[in-house]
Homo-oligomer: A and B are copies of this chain.
C-alpha cells in the first residue's frame, strides 16, 4: 500500500517578521489538503524583545549562545508569542492547528550540547532515532496540524534551543518509514539561484552530482551550501523530496511548478 503523503514545511524568521508575507503563507498552508506539519523559526522579534529586556545577544562564530536569560527569552517568544499567534490565525482559517515544542508529549528529546571549545549554553542536539514517532502519529491521526516551535528538552527537563531547519530535517527523516514525506523549506526567494544577482535564475532540480558541480563552480551563495547538504542527506535517508522555495508560492511549490527540488 502506498504511504500517505505528509508535508513538513519550515518557514524562516524573515517570513514571520513580515505580517503580510506571513498571512499569505498561512492562507496557503491552511488551504493545503492532507497531512501537514509547520515548523517555524523565531525571527527578529526575539532579538527585539531581548533588547527591550536588556538581554544581550551573544554570538560565537555566527551561532547564538543560549545563556540562562536567552533560553527563557526564546521559550517565551518562540514557544509562546510566535507559536500561539500562528495557531490562532490558522484556527481562524479553518485549519485545526496545535502548537507544540519538542518537550510537549516528549515529541523531540534532545541532549544539551557538550561544552567543547565553545559553550553554546542551552542548545539541544537531536538524534533522528530518538524522535517520538508514536507521539507524532497520535497527533496526526487526531486530525491536528502540528505547529512546531524550535525548542526541545533534555532528560532533566530543561528546555533547549534547537535550529528549526535541523528539527524539520530530522522529523522528515524520522517519519519517512510511515509516510511519503516532502520537506519544504520556505524563504523569501524563489529557490536556489544559479546566479545570486539574478532572482530569475532558479535551479529547478539538484541531485548529488549536480550539487558537486555547482559547489565546484563557486557561483552559489555560500549560505545555501549547508542547507543543500542537509537536503541531500535527508533524501539519502528516506525523505521523498526536499524543496526550497518562496513562502508566498507554497501552492506552486506543492504543485511542482516552483522552487528547487533536491533529489537522489
A residues apposed to B, CB below 8 Å = 49, 52-54, 72, 75-81, 83-85, 87-93, 96-101, 103-106, 138, 142, 144, 151, 153, 155-159
Contact = CB atoms under 8 A, between A and B. Distances in A.
B92 A155 contact: yes
A97 B106 CA distance: 8
Contact of A83 (B79, B85, B155, B156): B79
Given A96-B105, A99-B101, A105-B142, 17 more contacts: A49-B76, A52-B53, A75-B85, A76-B77, A77-B80, A78-B80, A79-B80, A79-B84, A80-B83, A84-B159, A85-B159, A87-B103, A87-B104, A88-B153, A99-B103, A105-B144, A138-B142
B101 A84 contact: yes
A157 B93 contact: yes
Given A49-B53, A80-B79, A85-B159, A153 B103 contact: no
A89 B157 contact: yes
Contacts of A142: 105, 138, 142
Given A53-B53, A101-B99, A142-B142, A106 B91 contact: yes
Contacts of A83: 79-80
A98 B99 contact: no
A98 B148 CA distance: 13
B104 A98 contact: yes
A147 B224 CA distance: 39
A38 B145 CA distance: 23
A74 B159 CA distance: 19
Contact of A158 (B75, B79, B88, B151): B88
